[in-house]
Amino acid sequence: MSPLASYRRLFELAGPTYVVVAFLARLPLAMSQLGTLLLVSEATGSYGLGGLSAGALAVANAVGAPFAGALADRVGQRHVVLVQSLAGAAALGLLVLLVHVGASDLAVVATAALAGLSMPQVGPLARVRWRPITARTGAQQRRLVDVAFSYEGAADEASFAIGPALVGIGVVALSPGGALLLAAALLATFGTAFALHGSARIVRGSGAALPTGRLVTPVLLVLIGAQVLIGTLFGATQTGTTVLATEAGHPGVAGLVHATLGLGSAIAGIATAFIPARIGPERRIRYAASALLVLSLPLLLVDSLPTLTIAVALLGCAVAPFMIGVFTLAERVVSPAKVATAMTVLASATGIGYALGSTVGGRLADQHGYTAAFAVTVTAMAGALALVGLAQRALHDALEVAQSPTSTPATSPGLASATR
């Protein structure tokens, strides 16, 4: 089956309503990070506090997501996502109110963390739904699941393009607070729709204790480290972009410029399905890491919004291939009963990296300007290349073991009963 035919088959199986709802439900998380950064930075005049608040939101989301995923493993996605969507929307509204009335820094950071803790990780949850959705496709399922992961990677990246763009439009048309309230409204509406969609019923929880099977392995630790570093790219690049745009007198443009990172990544993510199967995910990760390092270097030279836009767009073209390789490899090598949890953990690692990048980048930008924030991006990509390069043999061996006939691969049909 060709990649185009596979995409068409996936969307036929899931239905257009699910595809639209699952995409729109992930926008609020992408909007909330930049929205918080702009809201707090403008109100206080401190990029450090803005970065700390955005980082607190990301870290809390990263810490809470695995626990929410584990709960969904037991009781199903529907109730967990519904509660998170409504609570997260309320917390974002409270954050806007506290900043508006001049609440203390501690209260602002704590509320940002509460918002992050409440928000659902729609991307990982959507990935879990594809296996049961494709359960009756027989021999085509392996191919369809791989293409679904390419789509999900592209959808995540597109959300991090459209999300910041919506924030930028909201800041220009309304205010930073208005942009964050828009994110709250989208979360309450489409997060609820994602929770109540019929596809949630086919990933019902077991109602029992957490599934057995080893989750933490040296290979998964490498993949977690890779996601922390790619998250650092997001946080530092977004912070550097915000500082440069503000210094240029156009703070609202920051979201639009950063959106090009997600746009380039989304296009590359869709194209990943066309890469020959003989090029395994471990090799794709290494190639993408090399490209990320090379393409991040121009950030150290930019001095205007046009040059920054070009550099960020080009950098984005290597992001989705890297992340798709990481998630695909994890899906194949992790114990079948733990794949859903692994997806959430990897997404959480990305959030931790974002917090690291935005916090460190914000503090350095306060002292040395936007170039210092972009230097964090470059450093993180050098670390990513070193990590996956040194672990290449281990990744390859783990993949070989998982695909051997005597093993129990993560592609086992029995996964459907263990996912959330």
The b-or-e profile of 354-391 (16+ CB within 10 A means b, else e) is bbbbbbbbbbbbbeeebbbbbbbbbbbbbbbbebbeeb
Alpha-carbon span 408 to 202, nearest angstrom: 22
Query: What is the distance in angstroms between the CA of the first residue and the CA of the last residue of the chain?
Result: 29
CATH class of the domain at 3-410: mainly alpha
In sequence order, the 6+-apart residues with CB closer than 8 A to the CB of 12 are: none
Reduce the DSSP state of residue 365 to 3 states and report it: helix
Structural tokens at position 211 = 């599934």
In sequence order, the 6+-apart residues with CB closer than 8 A to the CB of 384 are: 226, 229, 230, 289, 292, 293, 322
Per-position pLDDT tens, the chain of length 420? 677 787 888 888 888 889 899 999 999 988 888 888 888 888 887 777 887 888 788 788 888 888 887 787 777 788 889 999 999 999 999 999 998 888 888 999 999 999 999 998 888 888 878 878 887 877 777 778 778 888 887 788 778 778 877 887 888 788 888 889 999 999 999 999 999 887 777 766 544 444 445 567 788 889 999 999 999 998 898 888 888 888 888 776 777 787 788 777 778 777 777 776 677 778 888 899 999 999 999 999 988 889 998 999 899 888 888 988 888 888 777 766 666 677 778 888 887 888 788 888 888 888 888 899 999 999 999 999 999 888 888 887 777 766 665 544 443 333 232 223
- Closest alpha carbon to 86 in 182, 13, 190, 14: 190
